[in-house]
Amino acid sequence: MRTVRDAAFDVMRQHGMTTVFANPGSTEVPLLTGFPDDLRFVLALHEGSVVGAATGWAIVREQPALVLLHTTAGLGNAVGALATARVNRAPLVVLVGQQDRRHLVQEPFLAGRLEGLAGDYPVRVETPARAQDVPGAIGRAAHAARVRRGPALVIVPMNDWAEPADDVPDPSPAALRTATGADPAAVREVAALLAGATAPALVVGAGADHADTWSALTDLAERLGCPVRQEPFGARAGFPQDHPLFAGHLPADRARLRTVLAPHDVVLAVGAPLLRQYPYQDGPLARPGTRMALVTDDPAEAERAPAELAVVAPLPAFCAALAEQTPKRAGQPYGGPETAGRPTPPPSDADGPLRGADVLAALADALPADAVLVEETPSSRPELHALVPARRPLGFLSAAMGGLGFAIPAAAGVRMGAPERPVVAVVGDGSSLYQIQALWTAAHYGVGILVIVLANSGYAVMDRLAELHGGAAPWPPFEEVSVSGLATALGCPARRVTDRGTLRRELGALLPSLGELTEPLVLEVAVAPDPVFQP
C-alpha cells in the first residue's frame, strides 16, 4: 500500500529537498524509521543548530532546505533561529511533528499548540485537515519558501504518515515560475534620477549578493564614478569590497550617517533596507536636499522604506538594465578621492597582548578569495569589515537578525551545501557558546570548516555598551570556560593559540588549503578586547 509518507517523500524529491536537518523526537519516528537510501539525514544536537545549518545550506544552494522539529519543545527551541532564517531570507520547509490525530482533542502528552508559536516569522503555516493533504502542504510550503524566501511550516500528526495515499489530490504545481524581467518604465525612472544627480552614491545590501547583481552594480558604479557603501549590519556583501569604488560600511547611528551622506544629492539603495539603524536618535536619515530611492526584491522592505521612490523588482535583471541605460558621467575619476583611504584599525603594540584586529589582519593575509567567511563576533565586527573584504559573492555571511548562535551551524551548512567553497567562521567565545553543539554535527559528518574563536573570556560588546550608559556591568567574565576543551569533548579537533608567532604559523599552514579540510577545526585564540574603533 502506498502511504502518505511515500507520497511525501516523492514531493520532497521533486523539490530537491533530499537532505533533512533534524533533531527528532517520538512524534517523528513514524516518518524516519526505514529512511530511504536516496535521502540524507543530518542530526544536530539542538534545534538552533538544526535550523542554523539548514539556513546556511539553503542560502548557498539557493533552494529550500528541509527541517524536521519535534512538537512544542522542538519548535519552541528553534524560534530564534527561524527568525534569523526569515530575516536572512533563507528558504526552509519545516516539518513539525504533532501527537496522533486520533486523540488530539484530549490534548495527550506531547500534544502541542503549535500554530502561532513561531509568531509571524514563518512565511506560511499549514495544518493539513486530513492525512492525505500532507504531501500537497509540503509542496505548497516549498513554493512559499522559495518565492517569499523564508521558513514555511507544515504541522503533521504522527499517525498521518502511515495513512493510505490512494486519494491524495494533485499536491501543488510541479513548477512555479515568477517574473525575472525588469519593468522598463521603472528602470527609466531610476535611471533618470541618477542622470540628474551631481553627486550620487550607491548603498548595497544583502539582497544584492548575487554574481549577476555584483557585475551589474560594478558596471553602474563605474559609469557613475561614485562611491559604493555597504548597508549597516549587512548580513551579506552586495558589492566586491576590494573594488576601488567601495567606500566601506555605513554607520548605524543617524548623526554619523547624515555626515557620511551629506556630500550626495541622490542615494540609491539596492537590496538593502533604507537604512537600518541600531541606537535610536532624533533627526532624519539624511540632510535636506538628499533624494533617496530603493530597489529591492522584498515588497515588505519597499513598503516601509522612507524613500522618494521604491521599486520592487528582480535585482539581477533590473540592475543590468539600469547600468545599460545610465550614461557614463563626464569628468568622474575612477575610484576618486571620496573612495580613497578607508579607515583601518590602528596597529597594535607588537609587544602587547593579541587583539581581535591582529587575528583578522593575519586572516586577511592568506584567506582564499573564494572563501565564505561567516561572522559572529560583535565586539570585533568593525575591525573585520575594515580588514577582511568580501571578494566574491557569498564571501561574507552573518545573522541578519542579530541574535547569537548562527555562525557555527551556518558555516557547517554552507560547506555541506557548497563543498567546493572554503569556509571559515569567526566567532567570539561568548557567541560560540550559544550553539557549540553544532561542532558535533560538523565532526560527525566530516564537514571541513575552520572556526576561529576570539576568546576574551567575556561579553566585550556588552561591556562597551555598559560603559556608554555610564554604569558598571553586573555580569562577570567567564574565564573558566575553555572553548577548545568543549570542542574536543564534542569530537571536534581544537587548538588554543596565545601568541603572535603561533597564530601566524597556524593560519599560514591552514588557510592555503582551507578548501581541502575534511573535518572541522577550532582555533581558540586568546585575545584582549579591541579598543573602540568606528570606521
For the chain, the average pLDDT equals 92
Spatial separation of the C-alpha atoms in residues 456 and 257, rounded to whole Å: 30
To the nearest 5 percent, what fractions of the chain are helix, strand and coil?
Answer: 40, 15, 45
Spatial separation of the C-alpha atoms in residues 12 and 390, rounded to whole Å: 34
C-alpha cell at 465: 555598551
Contact (CB, 8 A) for 23 and 44: yes
Instruction: Lowest mean pLDDT of 224-238, 257-271, 328-342, name the range.
Output: 328-342
Contact (CB, 8 A) for 60 and 118: no
| Residue 478: strand, helix, or coil | coil
pLDDT tens by residue, 428-443: 999 999 999 999 999 9
Domains in the chain (CATH in brackets) are 4-162 (3.40.50.970), 184-336 (3.40.50.1220), 356-526 (3.40.50.970)
C-alpha cell at 45: 544536537
pLDDT at res. 192: 95
pLDDT at res. 63: 95
pLDDT at res. 331: 67
Instruction: Lowest mean pLDDT of 196-200, 219-223, 265-269, 475-479, name the range.
Output: 475-479
Higher pLDDT, 251 or 216: 216
Strand order in the sheet with 450-455: 396-398, 372-376, 423-428, 450-455, 521-526, 494-497
pLDDT at res. 383: 92
pLDDT at res. 274: 84
pLDDT band at 342 (very low <50, low <70, confident <90, very high): low
Spatial separation of the C-alpha atoms in residues 363 and 248, rounded to whole Å: 19
Query: What distances in angstroms separate CA 242 from CA 228, 237, 362, 486, one per listed residue?
Result: 11, 11, 17, 36
pLDDT tens by residue, 514-532: 999 999 999 999 999 877 7
Rg (CA), the chain: 24
- Given a cut of 90, is residue 468 above it in pLDDT? no
Over pLDDT 70: what percentage of the chain?
96
pLDDT at res. 333: 58
Burial 127-141 (b: 16+ CB within 10 A, else e): ebeebbbbbbbbbbb
pLDDT band at 470 (very low <50, low <70, confident <90, very high): confident
pLDDT at res. 332: 60
Spatial separation of the C-alpha atoms in residues 443 and 45, rounded to whole Å: 12
Spatial separation of the C-alpha atoms in residues 254 and 243, rounded to whole Å: 26
Over pLDDT 90: what percentage of the chain?
78
- Given a cut of 50, is residue 91 above it in pLDDT? yes
Mean pLDDT of 103-126: 93
Mean pLDDT of 25-34: 95
pTM across the whole model: 0.93
Spatial separation of the C-alpha atoms in residues 204 and 300, rounded to whole Å: 17
- Given a cut of 70, is residue 334 above it in pLDDT? no
- Given a cut of 70, is residue 340 above it in pLDDT? no
Spatial separation of the C-alpha atoms in residues 66 and 79, rounded to whole Å: 16
Mean pLDDT of 56-70: 97
Spatial separation of the C-alpha atoms in residues 17 and 23, rounded to whole Å: 17
Contact (CB, 8 A) for 93 and 141: yes
pLDDT at res. 210: 96
C-alpha cell at 166: 490512494
Spatial separation of the C-alpha atoms in residues 68 and 80, rounded to whole Å: 16
- Given a cut of 50, is residue 337 above it in pLDDT? no
| String of DSSP letters for 269-319 | EESS-S---SS--SS-SS-TT-EEEEEES-HHHHHT---SEEEE--HHHHH
Contact (CB, 8 A) for 161 and 5: yes
Residue of 54, 51, 59, 117 whose CA lies nearest to 88: 59
CB atoms within 10 A of CB 218: 18
- Given a cut of 70, is residue 170 above it in pLDDT? no
Mean pLDDT of 278-285: 81
pLDDT band at 176 (very low <50, low <70, confident <90, very high): confident
| Residue 423: strand, helix, or coil | strand
pLDDT tens by residue, 125-150: 999 999 999 999 999 999 999 999 99
CB atoms within 10 A of CB 435: 30
pLDDT at res. 173: 81
Spatial separation of the C-alpha atoms in residues 456 and 367, rounded to whole Å: 23
- Given a cut of 70, is residue 179 above it in pLDDT? yes
Spatial separation of the C-alpha atoms in residues 212 and 266, rounded to whole Å: 24
Beta-ladder partners of 93: 66, 152
Contact (CB, 8 A) for 522 and 487: yes
The residues near 512 (Cβ < 8 Å, ≥ 6 apart) are 366, 368
Residue of 107, 108, 160 whose CA lies nearest to 137: 160
pLDDT band at 535 (very low <50, low <70, confident <90, very high): low
Instruction: Lowest mean pLDDT of 25-34, 242-251, 279-288, 466-475, name the range.
Output: 466-475
